[in-house]
Amino acid sequence: MTGLLLGRARAQWQLLAVLVAIVSLGATLLGTCALLVTRTADRALEVAASRSTAEDAQVTAYNVTVLGADAAGVAADTRDLLTSSLAPFEVRTDGRASSVLRALSKDSAGYLSAVQDLPASAELATGRWPSAPGEGVVLETTARQLGVTTGSRVRLGPELSRDPAPALTVTIVGVVRPLVGTGWDRDPLAGAGFDPAYRDTSSLRDSRAYGPFLVGWDDLLATGSTLDRLEITAVPDLSAPRLADLDAVTANVRTADRRLARVLGERVRIERVASQLPSVLQSSRHQQQVTNAAVLAVAVLGAVLTATALSLAGRLTTDLRAAESALLSSFGAGRGQLAGVAAIEAAALALLATALAIPASSLLHTALTHLPPLGGAGLASAPTITAAQVLTIAAGAAALAVMLIVSGLRAAPATDERTRRDLLARSGADILLVALAAGGWWQLRAQPTGDAGGPDVVRVLAPALLLIAGAALALRLAPPALALADRLARRANSLPLPLAAFEAARRPQATAAGLLVTLACASATFGIALDATWERSQRDQAALAVGTDLTLALTQPPTAGQGAAVAAATGGTVSPAVDRGVAVGQWLGGAGAAPRLVAVDTDRAGALLRGRLDNGRTWAQVGAKLAAPAGAEGLPLTGTPTLTGTASSGAHLSVTPELLLEDATGLRTTCATAPVTLDARPHRLGACVPPSGVRVIAVAVPVTGDAISWDATATSDIVITLTIPGTTPASAKWTATSAAPSAEQLTDPAVTTGRSGLRMTGTVQLGGPPEAARTLVATAFEDPGPVPVAVSAGFAHDLGVRVGGRLDLTIGLTAVPITVADLVPAVPSAPGGAALLADLDTLSRALAVRGDLGSPVDAWWVGDPVHTELTGLHLGTAVTRAGETDRLTAGPVPAGLPAVLRLLVPAAALLLLAGVLLHVTCDLQARALEVARLRGLGMTRREIRSTLLGQHMVVLLPLWAAGAAVGALSTWIVAPLLVRSETGAAPVPDVVPMWPWPAQAGLLTALLAAALIAVTSVVLVQSRRADAAHLRVAS
């Protein structure tokens, strides 16, 4: 037996080499995919974790109300708990604590605070940092309000709580400015330094609060002060994490809250541990599963291709060995014995292929991780061999070897009976395949999120099923087409090409070869198209999610002149922007998400807004439907304005004027001033010292005073003159209104512009509802009426509105009427949900005429920026579309998909070529005698060549085209369902199937050229060999 095997191996080594090569190729592909979904996937999670921001990684414990005696203990225990929860990572902890209020004077209070790394969250204006007990620094605003400077000593009286700690004195050694984005939002007064009416958890009534008085951390804990808040933040160093540690930390952080409660017990009133880390890691894992499903789908496709190539090889092997088998049978070797020989041979083959595929897949994987996109994502790795990889390869090689035996056994000599049975079986298999593919497709459509625990089976199998079913159906079209060619050939006069057609049409078709060609062509084109579709979708998602090229989310309201700074720093089209949740009438939004209002300067929508629109519309077209009619001219403001007012009938009234200012970039800011008495004397509005280029475009004067009371019956005519330095005679028409609520409490509002400013008049009803606004509003523009908005498809669906519909939008506390001017699939920066897009100018006017002069602006949007590095501005966090695109297409977690697709295409091409070569070689070898006979008939070599070439091309060409068609069809049907967002949900905007023509044309041409070269070279060799020598061989 072994003698036979070895002898045969020596004689047929070329054939065996081809078989080993095919099995090795398949096993290598599987092994590489195994490494991608295990090693690289794990590594990707680690890299993603290492790239997480401190904000995402940090764990913060909040403790509320800690008695002075417990403070140090609670701080230490909290710190220990956080540090141990984050073990084994290096942890940097920070603390921030504030005491309860202490009396400063009769009706004012102050509080102590400590920030552990104070120089990192504030900068010194004057003086130095506190270094000894009893030393402290204050914010600039506090210092100004209290009139303290370095060297001042401030006495903080006993605490206002029930169990007060004694008074103490703080020596001010410095004045500081808070730095943006360093946690001042969690200061009791949010870093404002002063609040006219504040109460904390310990106080019973509002008082004027000043603070913080920033002392040393240990100093604060030692004073015995009751801590209103004690907050410890731990930031793990995730620069080189191991996945197992990340998982352990996730679990620990999840339970940290409960454990902290147990550790601290009664020592604190409330404690809570908050962290984004578990959800950030979880969403990475989720995204990883989405990627893995796609990688596995490609692995299945590769395996199917290999199996097809192998079944072809198996059939050819059996054909070649038919005579030998018959001889062995005639010597009395049983079927079982023959199968045994085949099994031993297959086992040897599988072993050899496994031995080759293990190093090959390791090397291929390494090469792949060094190329983009994996290399760029920081996933480059040295060659490794893992258990999962070896097991996959061994199992894959074994399965393929079994396939080889089975396909060999099946290919017994063809009889009519057998062909009919085969045909029936094939029809059954085709129907089953189509049914399975349809089922898979339906499942994909019905369950777009695929929220299963592991990689979704449907998602993994659907592409392969669809491609096989398509290829099988396409093959069914081949016989009728060839029959047609046969009919045409019968009528022709010549021999070479008609003979080619006869040969192609009448020889029993090599199903395996046809399937391989079609499937390989379909897989390769599908691979390229899926790659392009996926990439395009990620780009679209990034564009819509960011909404523009660069957003700068502000941590504090913008100040006049900021637009110029942002424009200078970015060099792009800059617009102030609003992106916030709103209420529409009574509706607060579905599924826990408020409808989002996005407002920018829609005059420049084309340059600003990004995200795919439908029907070839552009954002400029949408913006044109929303843009404000004309700019508001307003009054230039070059110095400090003064306000003079009188109230008739001797009423004691005062006003708290607010000015709406617009700078050169269109940014509107408000300046609110202290109350001004209407006493006929001029009052300088000191808070409104403008930067240059600012214009006043609206003024609101709410009237208050002792004279106003519920039961008063009198009215008072007020006259208010706002002198604005630098005002030239303005032709601009101003409009005056009385703001809601109870607008009737201020009647006859009027405004006139004069040489020196504005003169506003009105009549105040001193009686009536106390909550009435009694606000006289003068604007440099008219009420814009309902604000035109473009609403998202989600919004239109949820509220059932159409173009022309009218609604009320509640922004903050002000209701603004809107009218639906357009429908868009999604609003930039608010993908998927209910959202509205409005013009910021119009929106701001609508708010202003309703007396709401507060700026709604919370971000800067920049189109086509030249520079994107804005940390130097200290305004907030910048997000760029390019960065987001990069994260979605080339981030460590998603990069596996394009990488594996880049593997599929060459693998499919190689298998196709191997299959064609194998098929043509075997076919021509088997027909050497026939070729010699044709020579005998007087056919020239050239004629024989064209017959052979024509015969193979007439089969190959349609299959090649059918493969491309199946690939295209699959792209349209299934690629959009395979592309997912990073959460695994259906992407927004919808996925557009992409068919990159240049790449596809290149690929198809290359495949065809390679096949052509392969066929031609075999034909050339074969036709040269055909000579008289063959004629002596008996058939």
Nearer to another protein, 393 or 939 (CB): 939
Nearer to another protein, 503 or 852 (CB): 503
- Considering the rule CB under 8 A, would residue 591 count as an interface residue with another protein? no
Binder of another protein out of 423, 930, 983, 1005 (CB under 8 A): 930
Phi-psi region of 615 (alpha: psi -120 to 50; beta: other; left: phi over 0): left
- Considering the rule CB under 8 A, would residue 418 count as an interface residue with another protein? no
- Considering the rule CB under 8 A, would residue 1031 count as an interface residue with another protein? yes
Minimum distance from CB of 933 to another protein (Å)?
Answer: 4
Minimum distance from CB of 492 to another protein (Å)?
Answer: 8
Residues 6+ apart with CB under 8 A from 457: none
Residues 6+ apart with CB under 8 A from 328: 338
Closest among 43, 99, 50 to 71, alpha carbons compared: 99
Segment lying near another protein (by CB under 8 A), choices 26-34, 237-245, 724-732, 1027-1035: 1027-1035
The site map against another protein for 131-170 (x = CB under 8 A) is ----------------------------------------
- Considering the rule CB under 8 A, would residue 924 count as an interface residue with another protein? no
548 close to 861: Cβ distance less than 8 angstroms = yes
- Considering the rule CB under 8 A, would residue 491 count as an interface residue with another protein? yes
793 close to 823: Cβ distance less than 8 angstroms = yes
- Considering the rule CB under 8 A, would residue 933 count as an interface residue with another protein? yes
Minimum distance from CB of 477 to another protein (Å)?
Answer: 21
- Considering the rule CB under 8 A, would residue 228 count as an interface residue with another protein? no
Minimum distance from CB of 408 to another protein (Å)?
Answer: 24
Q: What is the largest CA-CA distance in the chain?
A: 135
Binder of another protein out of 258, 445, 476, 507 (CB under 8 A): 507
Residue that the structure tokens 């509080």 belong to? 111
750 close to 777: Cβ distance less than 8 angstroms = no
- Considering the rule CB under 8 A, would residue 498 count as an interface residue with another protein? yes
Nearer to another protein, 310 or 954 (CB): 954
Nearer to another protein, 505 or 628 (CB): 505
What DSSP character marks residue 179? P
Residue that the structure tokens 């199996």 belong to? 307
d(CA 597, CA 578): 7
Nearer to another protein, 86 or 482 (CB): 482
d(CA 943, CA 920): 18
Binder of another protein out of 255, 618, 940, 1005 (CB under 8 A): 940
Residues 6+ apart with CB under 8 A from 505: 479, 482, 483, 485, 486, 489
Segment lying near another protein (by CB under 8 A), choices 99-107, 235-243, 502-510, 871-879: 502-510
Binder of another protein out of 902, 935, 952, 980 (CB under 8 A): 935
Closest among 135, 140, 109 to 210, alpha carbons compared: 109
979 close to 533: Cβ distance less than 8 angstroms = yes
Segment lying near another protein (by CB under 8 A), choices 145-153, 175-183, 928-936, 984-992: 928-936
Residue 589 exposure: Cα atoms within 13 Å on the Cβ side: 20
Nearer to another protein, 866 or 1028 (CB): 1028
What is the CA angle 263-264-266, rounded to 5?
130
| DSSP notation for 514-525 | HHHHHHHHHHHH
Segment lying near another protein (by CB under 8 A), choices 250-258, 492-500, 800-808, 883-891: 492-500
What is the CA angle 444-445-451, rounded to 5?
55
Binder of another protein out of 699, 934, 948, 991 (CB under 8 A): 934
Binder of another protein out of 84, 105, 239, 494 (CB under 8 A): 494
Nearer to another protein, 280 or 920 (CB): 920
- Considering the rule CB under 8 A, would residue 415 count as an interface residue with another protein? no
Residues 6+ apart with CB under 8 A from 808: 584, 585, 815, 816, 817, 818
Report H helices in 126-224: 140-146, 217-222
- Considering the rule CB under 8 A, would residue 941 count as an interface residue with another protein? yes
One-letter-per-residue 3-state SS of 87-99: CCCCEEEEEEEEE
Taking the CA atoms of 248, 250, 254 and 256 in sequence, report the sign of the dihedral they define.
Answer: positive
Minimum distance from CB of 930 to another protein (Å)?
Answer: 6
Binder of another protein out of 493, 586, 615, 731 (CB under 8 A): 493
CA 981 to chain centre: 7
- Considering the rule CB under 8 A, would residue 936 count as an interface residue with another protein? yes
| DSSP notation for 716-749 | EEEEEEEE-TTPPPP-PPPEEEEPSSSGGGEEEE
Segment lying near another protein (by CB under 8 A), choices 242-250, 364-372, 503-511, 660-668: 503-511
Q: What H or E segment, with its residue span, contains residue 460?
A: helix 457-491
- Considering the rule CB under 8 A, would residue 967 count as an interface residue with another protein? no
Minimum distance from CB of 505 to another protein (Å)?
Answer: 8
- Considering the rule CB under 8 A, would residue 1035 count as an interface residue with another protein? yes
Residues 6+ apart with CB under 8 A from 530: 463, 901, 971, 975, 978, 979
Residue that the structure tokens 């074994």 belong to? 398
- Considering the rule CB under 8 A, would residue 506 count as an interface residue with another protein? yes
- Considering the rule CB under 8 A, would residue 219 count as an interface residue with another protein? no
Segment lying near another protein (by CB under 8 A), choices 130-138, 379-387, 494-502, 717-725: 494-502
Q: Tell me how far apart the terminal alpha carbons of the chain are, to the nearest angstrom.
A: 29
- Considering the rule CB under 8 A, would residue 106 count as an interface residue with another protein? no
Nearer to another protein, 668 or 935 (CB): 935
- Considering the rule CB under 8 A, would residue 1028 count as an interface residue with another protein? yes
Q: Number of residues in contact with another protein, rule: CB under 8 A? A: 28
Phi-psi region of 544 (alpha: psi -120 to 50; beta: other; left: phi over 0): alpha
Closest among 449, 549, 445, 592 to 987, alpha carbons compared: 449
Nearer to another protein, 242 or 506 (CB): 506
Segment lying near another protein (by CB under 8 A), choices 589-597, 670-678, 883-891, 1026-1034: 1026-1034
Q: What H or E segment, with its residue span, contains residue 886?
A: helix 881-890
Nearer to another protein, 1006 or 1031 (CB): 1031
Distances (CA, A) of 468 to 367, 408, 516, 534, 1022: 30, 21, 10, 22, 33
Distances (CA, A) of 272 to 6, 264, 931: 74, 11, 87
Segment lying near another protein (by CB under 8 A), choices 348-356, 565-573, 817-825, 926-934: 926-934
Minimum distance from CB of 939 to another protein (Å)?
Answer: 7
Show the tokens assigned to 435. 């049914």
Minimum distance from CB of 915 to another protein (Å)?
Answer: 23
- Considering the rule CB under 8 A, would residue 770 count as an interface residue with another protein? no
- Considering the rule CB under 8 A, would residue 743 count as an interface residue with another protein? no
- Considering the rule CB under 8 A, would residue 495 count as an interface residue with another protein? yes
Binder of another protein out of 764, 939, 953, 962 (CB under 8 A): 939
The site map against another protein for 853-892 (x = CB under 8 A) is ----------------------------------------
Residue that the structure tokens 């024509």 belong to? 950
Residues 509-518 as b/e (b if ≥16 CB within 10 A, e otherwise) read ebbbbbbbbb
Binder of another protein out of 77, 228, 503, 884 (CB under 8 A): 503
| DSSP notation for 611-669 | SPPSTT--HHHHHHTTS-SS----EEE-S--EEEEEESTT---EE--EEEEE-TTS-EE
- Considering the rule CB under 8 A, would residue 419 count as an interface residue with another protein? no
Report the interface residues with another protein, using CB under 8 A.
Answer: 491-495, 498-499, 502-503, 506-507, 930, 933-941, 943, 1027-1028, 1031-1032, 1034-1035
